[in-house]
Structure 1
Amino acid sequence: MDLSRLQIAKQAAFDSYGNQHSECLPGTRIDLLREIEEWAKSPHGKCIFWLNGMAGTGKSTISQTVASRLQDQQLLGASFFFRRGEEDRGTAKKLFPTLTEQMVNRIPQMLPRVQKAMDDDPNISEKVLREQFEKLLLNPLFDIEQREEIKRRVIVIDALDECDSEDDIGIILQLLPQVRKSTSVQLRFLLTSRPELPIRLGFEGITDAHQDLVLHEIEKPVIEHDISLYFEDQFLRLKQRRSFPPDWPGAPATKILVDRAVPLFIAAATICRFISDVKWNPQKRLEAILTDQSTYVSKMDSTYVPVLKQLLTGQNEIESRKLLEEFKEIVGVIIILATPLSINSLSHLIDRESDDVKCRLDQLHSVLGVPNNFDTPVRLLHLSFRDFLLDHHKDKTKFWIDEKYTNQRLTERCLQIMQSSLEKNICKLPSEGIQWNEISNDSIQHYIPPELKYACRYWAHHLVQCTDLPSMMHNVYRFLQVHFLHWVEAMSLLRLTSAVSGILDLLQTAISLPQVEEEWSTLTQTLEGHSDSVYSVAFSPDGRLLASSSGDETVRLWDPATGALTQTLEGHSSWVESVAISPDGRLLASGSCDKTVRLWDLATGALTQTLKGHSDWVNSVAFSSDGRLLASGSGDK
């Protein structure tokens, strides 16, 4: 059985080494696990069971438990645990090849058709999701001969919301119900995710194919019982390692911790990791949690703020300021990285000593997976920590991370690392005609270490998310003028040639600003007034009005006949990238880098509506010919 040509995400399966989620504690989640098991075994169950809940409600732990139990009962078909920030697991590109490989190992009758799909198209793993799904999963299922006993298998897909493309999520939800046509294998899917809008909309289109359960709507006494059992179990383990009285920490203290954690299991887990850290006194850490009387607006605040405040305990103002700077520099980079890096690679990327990085991270074992091996990646223990640090509503707190500023610093460091390292024939190959398979991986890793590999692969990813993109472009131009071919050579050695065109497309989109290279002899007027670059202009249908948008966050209206400024429309909080005027000349739409589209009354200049929904810059707006529809284009794809 040779499936080596399938491009799979090697750490995505529930039982892989890189996917180490704990399972539900015995005695917890009893009714929930029973309901899922009954659905999995029932001949009349819906095709998809959607388990959704807000961050930290224990979705991945449940997925891990269900997958393990299904495997023990020979009911598991395959599993895929998405994880944002993990290169292979943060995208849907390898979802269906990965599921196919696992399915073939459990249902060998699928192999001939899968083998044929790979023979017919060796690049099937590179094709669009629909083609992958049909040729690797659906058609092989259809080809299995029907027997009296229908096989029933469940595929577990965890954290679908951590897939990086909303479009891909929608396509996946459209494709999965097609397996109901199979007469030989009854295939079902357990999907878990946060209840994000694109996923909710996707399920609205397949209402007949799914059932759902909302974790954060489970009755509070049930959640309190389960979290209380978790604390009791963790404290029992701690007492076995340390010399505490049998009744430590006491029912009142446990009750306070349970109340603080409910309904978030990640809150309970973080508190326990914080208290149990072997480098600290558990009693003092427990007291720090119990005596923290700050008012918090969310459960995540009440979980993470006390943990982070301990970093500053006992420090004077100067020391606290320095610790905060180092925290933002080191942890800010870790949570922004496109894929995890080791302490050694991080130290090169941020230009700090490895021991200094390790020293700072050793205080954060309750929120980060910090290995003792300096060459093993540092990982977030839960995505909610990243969400907490980047929440723009917390931009006045000590620990808030400025995402755009951190991306700018990462871009600068990536460019510096590439400029100092890339050169012609970087691997010192004996001849230019050498075949790729003649180059040893050890040689590539020696000359292109992880931090340089990361810089080559992701510099543009960080560039387009910078605070001040125009100011960065000078450095980018200078780098490309000298090192473009060196960069392409390195990407080729890393087997990332296919990513080069995507990076160039991304770069072209980022810098496609209007440029005028020669003067027009028909110039009649120069309209001046904006204090930054002008990105878009539009005439009204009758030609009596001209609108212009600018990086100064305004839209200005001009009389083309006289050149006079008639109105300035203010309201956007970032560059205004595009303007459009409705066919009847009554409305103006503006799209901005503040991720909104705004509608204005041209007669009065009043703001009539603010349209929100995009998660990245809005680059373009356009009215339909009848004025009844407005379209907007954004960097959120």
Structure 2
Amino acid sequence: ADFHADLDQKLAIVPGAAFDSYENQHKDECLPGTRTDILNQIKEWAASPYREAIFWLYGIAGTGKSTISRTIAKSFSETRSLGASFFFERGEGDRGNARKLFPTIARQLAIIHPLLMPILHEAVNDNPGIAAKGLREQFDKLLFQPFKKLPLSDTSLQSVVIVIDALDECEGDGDIQLILQLLPQLQRVTTMRLQVLLTSRPDLSRFVFSKMKLDHYKDFILHNIPLEVIEHDITLFFCHRLPEIRVLHNLPTDWPGKRDLQRLITLSIPSFIFAATICRIFEELDWDPADSLSSIFTQQDDRTRLTGTYLPVLDRLLNRQNKNQKEQLVMQFRQIIGAIVVLETSLSIGALSRLLGISQRLIHLRLNPLQSVLRVPDNDITPIRLFHLSFREFLLDPVTRTKTPLGISEIETHNMLTKKCLQICQKLEENICQLPNYGSQNVEIDRQTINEYFPPELQYGCRYWAHHLVQCTELTNIAYEAYSFLQTHLLLWIEAMSLLGHALEISGIIDLLQTAIGGNAPPLILQFFHDAKRFVLKSQHIFDQAPLQVYRAGLVFLPQASIIRTIFADKHSHWISQCPLVNETWSAELQALEGHSDSVLSVAFSPDGYLLASGSKDQTVYLWDPATGTIIQILDGHSGPVNSLSFSSDSHRLATGSDDKTLRVWDLATGEELYVLEGHSNSVLSVSFSPDDRLLASGSKDQTVNLWDPATGTIIQILDGHSGPVNSLSFSSDSRRLATGSDDKTLRVWDLATGEELYVLEGHSNSVLSVSFSPDDRLLASGSEDQTVRLWDTARGSLKQTLDIYSSSFNSVVFSPDGEVLATGSANWVVRLWDLATSTLQKTIDGHMSLGFTLSAASESVAFSPDSQLLASCSADETVRLWDPMVSEITETLNEDDLEPPVDVMAFSPDGLFLASGSFESPVVCLWNTTTGALTHTLEGHSQPVTSVTFSPDSRILASSSADGTSRLWVLPIGTLKQTLRPQYGSVHSVAFSCDGRLLASCTDDGKVCIWDLTRGTIYQTIDCHSESAYSAIFSSDSSLLVVGTDDGILRVFDVATVELYHEVDGHSDWVNSLAFSPDNRLLASWSMDETVCLWAFDKGGLSEIWTYEITDDAYGFFQDGLYLQIGLSPLDVEMSFTNSVFPNISIEDGQWINLDGKRILWLPVDFRPKRFKVNGNKLALGHASGKVSFLQFCI
């Protein structure tokens, strides 16, 4: 298999990061005889099998860290002990951040070690989009786990070194800290000895090194090398470079003389950058080295060494110019060199020319005299780079502007680059890459296509315009500039960012703009940015997967009053003529987080607010970034549902409790288990760290509470007192008391110093499902299956107040950290917020109704973020939801009886004006206006749930069947009951009209089919199918034959007039649920509970099988011309000779995508995914678990 090509497509890496990349080919290495001590120490460290995982080499700027890194990387490469290298460099795009650090390292390791290649390839395929995931997830899936799977061999003793240079130049302190937490875990790999050489400036010590175990790293302080050693090495450097300079300029063989040479050496100590820069100045052909030497010595009096080196370079640029030329030079210098030093990532001369609108010739003219401080390429495609960041610092230093007119104003340069970036972004257009359809996935688009439509300057402008804008001074200007651009280009910009792989950065950029603006803008602009933020948060993950969905799903499901929906309304008209009904305004829901494959049972925020954890019935724990909604890591270890979880107070550990009877304590830096705690004899239902982290408590179905020492994983004490499972527990803020709630209907408060019960709180009439201390410990809240929440006075041990809604069990209660609000989660998917000052219901938030689980399965947990600004909830719908608790969303109090049951059956009227829906959980039939999407009538009459609905051919009568043994006929359009047909044969599974509308067949659960004469309202015929139950029936086009599907999987064809069995065929192994004829009556399709669809040729009443197709959904039907049979969630093209339909082939794929003619056109958010769907021409009806029906009509 071509693993290399596939990984090139799926695993994004950073070009130019490796030590031997094209970008690094001209950078210096250590001269022979220099740096010998440190190089030898590194080699000895790497050769020893029992040394530390990390060698940290650090030193102040200019001491040669990167030169040593390149030298050692080359040396290890030659001995085949180099695993990978990554050279960070600020201002070099993704070399300046950690987004692709681990993918780049993993890719290099797999190239060097072929056995790793198929393992890495499997990991990438098993984790789509891993390159965009969090660092923890990347480290685990791309490095740690693949190496654990590597087969043991002689290489297990081999040292493999990863070189990471200039980690301090990585943006984001949080990322640096996390990298330093993760890297020591490579020591735990046994299949190969992995070590890391890490270089940085000294200030990296403020992160993790001060806390890291001494056996994890070895350090070396580069600027503390004895001065005589540094002097020796710098002397060798000058002795190596000066002869070349003498030859270049035809200088005397003793130039510059012993005295001046010694002075240069002294000035250079300890900075090799100083020495290297001086030599590059001497090498310039346009300048006399003797003059340069004199200028350098002259400028040293009152300035730092590097300033005294750089200033002469600028001075001599000006010396040759007259007044007018100087003014022009200064202006051009500030534009060109100012841009180079302020750019977020380096650009080539060609790209810089196009961005700034300055000719390449002029840029070359201004750069050529600066080749001692800038790496100026000899082509127009290689980026221009600084030799050292100190040149940037020098130019931007306000003091420099007092010494030379060539000093750069950072603010003015950001202003200029903002304008240039926004100008270049005017080139954006819809579907800029000319993708074949609006559901095209990012993974399907090759990099060559992206680069063809996005030249480097356009990529730069899209990604960084806002970074420059927020560093301008005028807040009002920032607001108007951003608003002016985004009100016309928001969708285009989001598309571009998504295509470029930066979709998950968009919400952060909008945050950046909002923070910079504050309240300093008109209300309309402030509202626009609020709207934009909600828009991006809601759909950023689909934008990341399918960029063009910004014009489809992004807009279609926006609230009606959304500013963005209004501004970009014209984007709808050409492809969709009817959109589904949506909320009028933004709800409290910010994001729906998807990933779990079963019910989510528990959620918790880390105390530092950076993580959100969720435990699921799928036996996994997910760690999310609550700011972006992205998955950071998946913790996999439990063998049963994860019922509860709790963070330690320092956010470094997570405890989880499961049905597998264990607790597990996880190291969140690595995702590894620290302990598996065994001691309970039944499911662990609740876990909690004490606020001081000295205790870990667990409540179990075995009716006990165990207190553990989290440092050792041993049991300290067992609290025994409950007579039922312990569902919940909560520590007081001082860690001295523990409250527990149980199925025995009581709460108990324990003194942890003695292990004794302080008091037993009685009052609930059913199981206590959740307990929580208030932040000030004055209140204890309890939620119960008796449908009440009770607030207890902890000082007196007495009931203070009862909050009763009597709608559903209260499965979760939690106080906001500020103590002002109590949040409750219920089994009916409802989250309620209570104002504790008044003890009144403040807000009701409805959610988690997308998949149609029964109320008893809809267990819901809620958690506040530490700043009380976010509320998380989870449920059986497999999602975690993030809410804004500040949104003014007060909805009517819901009771269980008020919740609409899920849609299970649907039918369009033949004229397309109506749709009828019913539920297997309700006796009510709903009638919908398909034009407006409104529910027009609820038809009540059945006493048991509805089993099917169907319309007469003239659309004037609606027939419904029910488990109550009746079929009912309703007159349209007002929905009055016309007739009740009671066959006396038990429950009616389904009904079917004859094509002339005169007969109605009803299938019953005793194996009979009653055929009703609708003109008389009497039974015309009764057919005995000789089976236990008849499930489905359909008339032939002339109404003379009836095909019946039964519980035994047999299809039987009966003569309607004589009820004689005409033909039968055994096609399925389970009951036949539904039947459909093609429009010409020549084909019959049957769908069975054995999860197969059979296609039959229907000729003169006989059936002969054409094919059988395995399927797991009941949505199928022929289109108008019979060309397509829609099966389940994808269309199947049947080879037929019929003409094409004027309507598109509409289908649903994976429950998430609407397809037109086999192409993805619209992604469906969680709450719009259907439980059932029906197609009528170019109109699609989606029946939801909430009981609602959404309608979409597509333009032909």
TM interval, shorter chain, is 0.7 to 0.9
For the residue of structure 1 that corresponds to 2:93, the secondary structure is coil
Superposed counterparts of 1:356-435, under 5 Å: 356-392=362-398, 394=400, 396-398=402-404, 399-419=406-426, 421-424=427-430, 429=434
1:189 paired with 2:196, answer: yes
Distance verdict in 2 for CA 1:183–1:58, change over 3 Å: same
Task: Classify the secondary structure of the residue corresponding to 1:122.
Answer: coil
| Residue 494 (structure 1) shift | 4.5
Aligned to 2:88: 82
CA distance in 1, matches of 2:451, 2:98: 27
**Structure-1 residue corresponding to 2:16:** 11
Q: 2:305 aligns with which of 299, 304, 329?
A: 299
| Cα-to-partner distance string for 1:97-156 (whole Å, 9 max, x where unaligned) | 111112222333334542332222121211111111112111222233445761211111
Counterpart for residue 173 of structure 2? 166
The answer to whether the 8 Å contact 1:141/1:185 transfers is: yes
Q: Retained in 2: the 8 A contact 1:151–1:184? A: no
- Does residue 1:109 correspond to 2:115, yes or no? yes
Shift of 1:442: 7.5
Letter in 1 for 2:138: Q
State the match for 1:55 in structure 2: 61
SS in 1 for 2:29: coil
Q: How many residues align?
A: 520
The reply to whether residue 253 of structure 1 matches residue 260 of structure 2 is yes
Higher relative contact order (CA 8 A, sep 6+): 1
Structure with greater helix percent? 1
SS of 2:195's equivalent? strand
Corresponding residue number in structure 2 for 1:619? none
Q: 1:494 to 1:172 in 2, by over 3 A?
A: closer
- Counterpart of 1:285, as a letter, is S
- The one-letter code sitting in structure 2 at the alignment partner of 1:260 is L
Per mean C-alpha deviation after superposition, the further-off stretch among 14-23 and 476-485 is 476-485
In 2, Cα distance between equivalents of 1:440 and 1:110: 24
| Alignment-derived partner of residue 178 in structure 1 | 185
* Counterpart secondary structure, 1:204: coil
The 3 A distance-change label for structure 1 pair 492 and 270 is same
When residues 71 and 344 of structure 1 are mapped into structure 2, their CA distance, relative to the original with a 3 A threshold, is: closer
Query: 2:296 is matched with which residue: 277, 289, 300?
Result: 289
Shift of 1:516: 8.7
Task: Check 1:282–1:509 CA distance in 2 against 1; reply closer, same or farther (3 A cut).
Answer: same
SS of 2:139's partner is: helix
Name the amino acid aligned to 2:22: Y
Hey, what does 1:536 align to over in structure 2? Answer: none
Find the residue that maps to 1:482 and give its secondary structure.
Answer: helix
Task: Say which is worse superposed, 396-405 or 490-499, in terms of deviation.
Answer: 490-499
1:483 corresponding residue in structure 2? 489
Match of 1:466 in 2: 472
Assess, with a 3 A threshold, how the Cα gap between structure 1 residues 318 and 219 changes in structure 2: closer, same or farther: farther
Deviation of residue 211 (structure 1)?
1.5
Match of 2:318 among 298, 305, 312: 312
Give the aligned residue type for 2:15: K
Q: Distance in 2 between matches of 1:344 and 1:376?
A: 9
Change beyond 3 A, Cα 1:19–1:496: same
Residue deviations 1:439-469, cap 9 Å, x none?
A: 8977865664432332122111211222223
Larger radius of gyration: 2
Deviation at 1:317, TM superposition (A): 5.4
Give the equivalent residue in structure 2 for 1:133: 139
Is 2:248 the counterpart of 1:217? no
Q: 1:404 to 1:76 in 2, by over 3 A?
A: same
Which residue number corresponds to residue 28 of structure 1? Answer: 34
Report which of the two has the higher share of strand.
Answer: 2
AA aligned to 1:19 is N
* CA distance in structure 2 between the partners assigned to 1:430 and 1:182 by the alignment: 43
Cα 1:374/1:259, change in 2 over 3 Å: same
Counterpart of 1:411, as a letter, is: T
Q: Does structure 1 conserve the Cα–Cα contact (< 8 Å) formed by 2:157 and 2:192?
A: yes
Q: 1:302 to 1:242 in 2, by over 3 A?
A: closer
1:80, 1:158 within 8 Å by CA — same for their partners in 2? yes
Aligned-pair identity in percent equals 47
Asked if the contact 1:408–1:468 (Cα under 8 Å) also holds between the matched residues in 2, the reply is no
1:326 has 2:332 as partner: yes
Letter in 2 for 1:225: H
Letter in 1 for 2:271: L
Contact kept, 8 Å, 2:84 with 2:109, in 1: the verdict is yes
Corresponding residue to 1:240 among 220, 234, 247: 247
Q: Does 1:230 align with 2:237?
A: yes
Aligned CA-pair RMSD: 3.1
C-alpha separation in 2, matches of 1:440 and 1:133 = 25
- Report the residue type matching 2:385 in the other structure: R
> In structure 1, what is the Cα distance between the partners aligned to 2:415 and 2:478?
8
Query: Secondary structure at 1:155's aligned position in 2?
Result: strand
Aligned to 1:587: none
**Residue deviations 1:416-444 (CA, integer Å, cap 9, x gap):** 3334x3445656x5987696899897786
CA contact (8 A) 2:16 2:24 kept: yes
CA distance in 2, matches of 1:443, 1:175: 35
Farther off after superposition, 180-189 or 431-440: 431-440
Q: Cα–Cα, structure 1 residues 432 and 6, in superposed 2: closer, same or farther, change >3 Å?
A: closer
Partner of 2:972: none
Q: CA deviation at 1:413?
A: 1.9
Partners in 2 of 1:216 and 1:288 — Cα distance?
A: 27
**Matches of 1:92 and 1:166 in 2, distance apart?**
11
* Greater CA drift, 163-172 or 202-211: 202-211
C-alpha separation in 2, matches of 1:460 and 1:446: 24
The answer as to whether partners of 2:475 and 2:520 remain within 8 angstroms in 1 is no
Deviations 1:240-263 (A, max 9, x none): 334233222222221122122211
State the distance in 2 between where 1:69 and 1:109 align. 23
Aligned residue number for residue 346 of structure 1: 352
Cα distance in 1 between the residues matched to 2:504 and 2:425: 19
Which runs of 5 or more residues in structure 2 are unaligned? 525-816, 820-866, 870-1196
Within 2, Cα distance between the matches of 1:261 and 1:151? 39
Q: Offset of 1:499 from its aligned partner?
A: 4.3
2:918 corresponds to which residue?
Answer: none
Determine the structure 1 residue equivalent to 2:1089: none
2:208 aligns with: 202
Counterpart of 1:27 in structure 2: which amino acid?
A: G
Q: Name the structure 2 match of 1:280.
A: 287
Q: Tell me the secondary structure at the aligned position of residue 141 of structure 2.
A: helix
CA distance in 2, matches of 1:510, 1:326: 30
Q: 1:144 to 1:264 in 2, by over 3 A?
A: same
> Secondary structure at 1:49's aligned position in 2?
strand
- In the alignment, the residues of structure 2 paired with residue 280 and residue 96 of structure 1 have an alpha-carbon distance, to the nearest angstrom, of 45
- 2:299 touches 2:311 (CA, 8 Å); kept in 1? no
Letter in 2 for 1:36: I
Distance, in Å, in 2 between the alignment partners of 1:430 and 1:201 is: 45
Deviation at 1:162, TM superposition (A): 0.8
8 Å CA contact 2:159, 2:193 repeated in 1? yes
Q: Any idea what SS the aligned residue of 2:208 has?
A: helix
Tell me which of 156, 164, 170 is aligned to 1:157. Answer: 164
For the Cα contact (< 8 Å) 2:245–2:282, is it kept in 1? Answer: no
Moved more, 33-42 or 135-144: 135-144
1:405 touches 1:467 (CA, 8 Å); kept in 2?
A: no
- Indicate the SS of the match to 1:211: strand
Matched residue, 1:563: none
Q: Gaps spanning 5+ residues in structure 1: where?
A: 519-623
Assess if the C-alpha contact under 8 Å between 1:261 and 1:303 holds in 2: no
In the aligned structure 2, how far is the partner of 1:294 from the partner of 1:170? 38
